Structure 1
Amino acid sequence: MDGYLGIIVIVLLVALLAAGGMFLLFRPRDRHAPPVPPSEAPALREEERAPATGVVEDDAATTTVPPPARPVEPVAPAVPAIEIPPPSAGRLVRLRARLARSQSALGRGLLELLSRDRLDDDAWDEIEDTLITADVGVAPARAMVEELRTKVKVLGSRGHDEVRALLREQLLIQVGADMDRTLHTTPHGERPAIVLVVGVNGTGKTTTTGKLARALVGDGRRVVLGAADTFRAAAADQLQTWGERVGAEVVRKDEGADPASVAFDAVSKGIEDKVDAVIIDTAGRLHTKTGLMDELGKVKRVIEKRATVDEVLLVLDATTGQNGMRQAQVFAEVVNITGIVLTKLDGTAKGGIVISVQRELGVPVKLVGLGEGPDDLAPFDAEAFVDAILGD
């Protein structure tokens, strides 16, 4: 019996060994086995090599090999298209609605006061206060009130049209409808007109310089711009953008360069190229900085070694009111101001600064800024300004 059991055990052991050998012989190939080194890999027959189409096939999957990437060619910076601005003539008339929105409150208030059945001393004081609040100035306001009182006494009964005519007449007198507001930007023979733009930081001086160049190009003039605000690299970059848009060349130097040197080179370039006008943007200076103000005088003197300065335009922010008057007085002591540019006139109800600044400096407002658009700088027209205040 024990012999039979021994034989059965031996047979079972042989069977198990045979089964294990068959499993090892026919087990599936491990796809995660490490790759065969190139030196040990068998060479592929011609028909087994990857086709030229970039597709490699095996018994389990098809892999697409992407073509080699093409080298990226450098892209040249886009050259801005040259714009053709509209002419400057008639701009203030076109922008009258915008001006009226900010200034008509003054006109309505004055018309309402003057249309009262009875004008006593308190009413006239209120009219004077309204004018002073609008930055007309104390002396001009009193002069207007005295003249209006005299006219009203003579006129007697007053209708709306009569009151409006009286007020219009007085406003035109105070605004200076007869002042010469010619902007001297025409060349003198072989020499271009030279325009120097000055002003305090934040008044919109560099933007005004660019807009003025745009207006002159719209009138058919050729312009060179001088970026003499060398204390701010952003100012030169901003002016460069304005020049590129209308095809005006900009003369500039590195930040910190001598402003007078930049101005001199710009004038020289204008003479060489025989352009119509050279516009110099100076650094925005605080009027309390005596040294910087002296430097502005130096810029003007250096320019005059090559050409006469035809215009010195002082840019004032209309929203600063009487503070702008103090700025104007200091600049007038350093350089001979020939005209005023009032910016942001559409954003204030104090348009009376037109009257006070002209009275104080004895020079006319020649340009006004009525918005942020590139063509929102307009030649000042006294009649259009007064009509906008009074409304239709």
Structure 2
Amino acid sequence: MNINDIKMVGIDQNTPIEIRERVSFGKEIKKALLKFKETYNAEVVILSTCHRSEIYVYSENIALKTIKDFFIEYFKVTEDELGQYLYILTGVDAVKHIFRVACGLESMVVGEDQILGQVKNAISISQENFASGKILNKLFRDAITLGKKVRTETGIKDLALSISYIAVKFISDEFKDLNDKKAFVIGTGEMGQIAIKNLISKGTKVYVSNRTHSKAVDLKKIIPEIEVVPYDDKYVQIARSDIVISATDAPHYTIDYEKFIKVYKGKKICMVDIALPRDIDPKIGEIEGVSIYTLDDLKKTADENKKKRIGFINVIEKIIESAVNNFVNWFKTLAIEPQIKNINKFADVISEIEFERVINKLSNIDERDKKNIEIALKRVAKKMSDLMIKHIKNDIINKKYEEVAIDFIDENGGNI
């Protein structure tokens, strides 16, 4: 077995959106999985998000070019069109990559949570369609476990760099639970889109408006979960909302105090103004029940978090390196799995033989004592076999006496 038989081909957020749109598996993951599996009979997992499309394969027989050709032909694009954006990784590099992805280090917003759910979804779909196997199941299971670990141990998810991401965090602190809340986002630019995606990931119903209505309609094609609101109806929608985020490039207030006060019904509303110049008339913040956060409020947190995050990334990199080493070591021991099974079988048989021998020499022994003797002999045999297996695995991992170790197992564990 060779760890370089783990292969990955894909593109990420560094690829222009007009290309990403053309090579997105979207809802066709199952179709693509089955097509690959039926054609090549190999382990395969597809990770598809708005920022990346990646195929992970484990096979001793399939060449990287075959996977690359499948990717290109499936989407009916040319190699020249993908050009420098298509990346190919094998072995330890592929292992490290999926670990970094699951930890959020390859995300646009470093450390974000959404990607972890997407990695879980990728392996779940593959397992449901019998497309993955022992190697990729283990790889993705370790990636998910690692992703949870770094977020819990480092707290990086609470240190967002993106202003929009921090805006949603402020709102989360205000409401505690954003599930089933209604949010209204004005503006469809990059900051507005990041806020929308983060709100949706938290279970929030999101309504969107833009002065150029067609841009909001186009955004719905990319993010179908949103509801588009005509710009002229924005004040009515604001009054219905729990959350309002405004991120436009207008030179004046897009939410005016006088117009707002006419529709406001007294409910609690959290507003976040991430525009410069400001979109929301600051007088609105003086109304009881309405709170407003501005760029100044958010930027302080962003600057503080940026300094902290650099240290966290270094810590996470070390955790990832350790996890990669653990996976590589596990992979190395797969070569001696048959021999390990023989050792365990040998230990079981020996304990049974010795049990019968002891019982035959004892008289007047009841069933309870017999059971205790049997348990004790099995426990001793297991401890001895476990110790032997541990040392043999270490020898294999460290490339010490590899042939001698396997020969020893075959000779002493294989002939019972």
TM category, shorter: under 0.3
> Could you state the TM-score of these two structures normalised by the residue count of structure 2?
0.25
Is the radius of gyration larger for structure 1 or structure 2?
1
> Could you state the TM-score of these two structures normalised by the residue count of structure 1?
0.26
